[in-house]
Amino acid sequence: MSTTQTRITFGNRQARALCSMSAPDRLDFIADGLPIILKSAQSFWNAASQIPGSPREAAVLEGFAEEEAAKTLILLDLVRCPASRASERVGRIVKKVFYDHLARLIYATAQTWRPVDVAQLQAYVDTQRQGHYLEGGMSEYILPNWALYSRESTMYADIEVHEDEDPQWSDPLKWSGAGRVSKPLALNLAESLSALGVFTRAGLQATAEIWDEVDFMDTQGWSETRQLRSRLAARLDAEKLVQDEATKDHAHAFYNLWQFPMYNIEFSKIDVPLERLRAEREAAYWAEVGDYYPEDHWDSREDT
């Protein structure tokens, strides 16, 4: 007699639990979690500022702060997702975005971009999710995804291989740069949204209802975002959800830094074939130096 075995799922990394919640329960749960995530991000940032003599360790903590703050923005995009499409998107977001380091780093960086619509935003994201890319004056070097490489190289001692295929040690202490001079933008934005009342249960309800009217899929962009953001601001104010500590800087971040929803954006790393990169490198070289004809081949050239 065959028996079925139930997989034990107790423990952490269980964001998929959001998939089985009703919309109201999901808003309740997210409202409970956003302040926790924000405090976690702030704690990392505050700790980083307390160890100026250890720039590598400070950089690791700063990176943690940025990724934690990005998680609040990811959850808010679940809230901004139209209810009619939420069930099909929640699972993908919590599985492929919420726990993915590259996706969180891109989410944080993307708040500074100014694409005109979702299609252009996806194109911007695509440039950041390449597994490898070309670098150098004539694109002569093939390098791994910089966001992931710098993250891992700062955190861990490791063995790495470059195009010459000779293994070498990566020393994280060599990544001890000057560190950030200002708080990560994603953390600033998360603090601003919290101060303006978006993180409250009523604020999330207002966000869900207002942003439900537009599904950001391709041509939707900043024109729709401006209208919806202005309406949300008015409602937050009318319902007296704005916190006492809110400042003009918080309002500026709300109006100018909060990217339009990215629930329909693909963030998975793109594996780039080595042959393609080598072909692009060759093309970049000849585009830089132009046609070259050895001196003893002058007579073999066709007249022009």
For 226-239, write each residue's pLDDT tens digit: 999 999 999 999 99
Helix H or strand E encompassing 159:
strand 158-161
Q: Is the pLDDT of residue 304 over 50?
A: no
For 142-177, write each residue's pLDDT tens digit: 889 999 999 999 999 999 998 877 899 999 988 655
CA nearest neighbour of 48 among 70, 67, 63: 63
92 contact partners, CB below 8 Å, separation of at least 6: none
Q: Is the pLDDT of residue 102 over 50?
A: yes
Cβ count within 10 A of residue 18: 20
* Per-chain mean pLDDT for the chain: 90
Q: Which two tokens stand for residue 264?
A: 């329909």
Bigger pLDDT: 124 or 173?
124
Q: Can you say whether the dihedral through the CA atoms of 93, 95, 96, 98 is positive or negative?
A: positive
* Contact indicator for 124, 110 with CB cutoff of 8 Å: yes
Bigger pLDDT: 69 or 296?
69
Cα(172)–Cα(155) distance, integer angstroms: 6
What pLDDT score does 103 carry? 97
CA nearest neighbour of 15 among 31, 33, 35: 33
* Contact indicator for 78, 93 with CB cutoff of 8 Å: yes
Q: Is the pLDDT of residue 178 over 90?
A: no
Query: In whole angstroms, what separates CA 199 from the centre of its chain?
Result: 20
The domain ranges of the chain are: 15-130+179-256
How far is residue 89 from each of residues 32, 86, 162, measured CA to CA in Å?
Answer: 21, 5, 38
For 205-219, write each residue's pLDDT tens digit: 999 999 999 999 999
Residues 73/78/80/81 CA torsion (nearest 10 deg):
140
Model confidence at 250, in pLDDT bands (50, 70, 90)? very high
What pLDDT score does 21 carry? 93
What pLDDT score does 13 carry? 82
74 contact partners, CB below 8 Å, separation of at least 6: 93, 97, 98, 103, 104, 107
Bigger pLDDT: 136 or 131?
131
- Taking the model in full, what pTM does it have? 0.89
Model confidence at 301, in pLDDT bands (50, 70, 90)? very low
DSSP 220-246: -BHHHHHHHHHHHHHHHHHTT-S-TT-
For 268-295, write each residue's pLDDT tens digit: 999 988 888 889 888 888 887 775 444 4
CA nearest neighbour of 233 among 247, 209, 253, 251: 251
